[in-house]
Structure 1
Amino acid sequence: MSRRRARELALQVLFQVDVVRANPERALEYLLAEHQVSDETAAFARSLVKGTLAKIREIDDYIKRYSIEWDLPRMANVDRNILRLGLFEMLYYGKTPLNVAIDEAVELAKTFSEENSCRFINGILGRIAREVPRNPGD
């Protein structure tokens, strides 16, 4: 299973939902068919999308509190959604070590965003990891 590939697909779905109000299930099924991933990769991508969207209000509250001087709507769309995905894994997924969730979010930023986004995302997620208790299995 490629967990990184699952994260990339989940990010693409979250971006579509956020920017063009796409139906998350249809967007994900389209991407899964297009990229022909394993059943395990597809299941992980589904859990990331479903979980992130289920907790999006709480996740956005964290982002608002920890992204000093950056309003959520002013953030680059891709950065906002990388943060959402990373925070879901850090705070609610419970199976991904914190350092892995942060590293994977930074890797997504390197692939899908601008050069400075890596530091921005790493800074916010690192600060949250130090200050907020994790809720495994939530």
Structure 2
Amino acid sequence: MKSRTKARCIALQVLYEQDMTSHLPGSIFEERLVDEPLDPSLQEFSRQIIFGVLPITKELDDYIAQHAPEWPLDQVAVIDRNIIRIAMWEFAVQQCTPVKVAINEAIELAKYFGSDSTPRFVNGVLGALANRSNEIHQAFASIVKSKSG
């Protein structure tokens, strides 16, 4: 597994566990690092994903719901939602990863963690969201600013 993929994998595990439990994300992250050590730069990348996604989860989910109307969000598997959230954060919110790379990475995570239909679902939703990446980036710039300030 490529190193940045491994960092995304840990971020996904943390986001998934945090979604399913009341565990603190920082504690979950530290536990994951014991099992899967990462280089400091990859730890930071994983940390940025986790703490970049968490404060804007509701807003990310609103966009996901718009682009997966046949699947009410509460019926989308938790792992699938978190894979899409990570990719969206990378290509639309933070713009730290090219769209195609973020989608390909999300599909790889979907193949590893999801069901047989997850890669196709993730690809379809992210493909639709990618067409609006600049609009999403602008919307989240103000959301992130209002939440941090």
Once residues 85 and 132 of structure 2 are traced to their aligned partners in structure 1, the CA distance between those partners, rounded to angstroms, is 17
Question: RMSD between aligned alpha carbons?
Answer: 1.7
Residue equivalent to 1:100:
101
Give every structure 1 segment of 4 or more consecutive aligned residues whose post-TM-superposition deviation is greater than 2 Å.
134-138
Residue equivalent to 2:147:
none
Residue equivalent to 1:71:
72
Structure 1 residue 96, shift from structure 2 partner: 0.3
Once residues 95 and 64 of structure 1 are traced to their aligned partners in structure 2, the CA distance between those partners, rounded to angstroms, is 23
Once residues 91 and 54 of structure 1 are traced to their aligned partners in structure 2, the CA distance between those partners, rounded to angstroms, is 15
Unaligned stretches of 5+ residues in structure 2: 142-149
Once residues 114 and 91 of structure 1 are traced to their aligned partners in structure 2, the CA distance between those partners, rounded to angstroms, is 25
Residue equivalent to 1:40:
41
- SS in structure 1 of the partner of residue 115 of structure 2: coil
On the 8 A contact 1:82/1:105 being kept in 2, the answer is yes
Percent pairwise identity: 37
Residue equivalent to 2:87:
86
On the 8 A contact 1:55/1:88 being kept in 2, the answer is no
Query: How many pairs were matched up?
Result: 138
Q: 1:80-138 CA deviation, whole Å, 9 max, x = no partner?
A: 11111111112112110011111100100000011111010000000110134152894
Residue equivalent to 1:109:
110
Once residues 97 and 115 of structure 1 are traced to their aligned partners in structure 2, the CA distance between those partners, rounded to angstroms, is 25
Structure 1 residue 39, shift from structure 2 partner: 0.6
Unaligned stretches of 5+ residues in structure 1: none
1:135 pairs with 122, 134, 137, which one? 137
Structure 1 residue 54, shift from structure 2 partner: 1.9
On the 8 A contact 2:80/2:114 being kept in 1, the answer is yes
Once residues 48 and 133 of structure 2 are traced to their aligned partners in structure 1, the CA distance between those partners, rounded to angstroms, is 22
On the 8 A contact 2:91/2:133 being kept in 1, the answer is no
Structure 1 residue 35, shift from structure 2 partner: 1.1
Q: 1:40-76 CA deviation, whole Å, 9 max, x = no partner?
A: 1111000000001122121011011111211111111
Residue equivalent to 1:19:
20
Residue equivalent to 2:59:
58
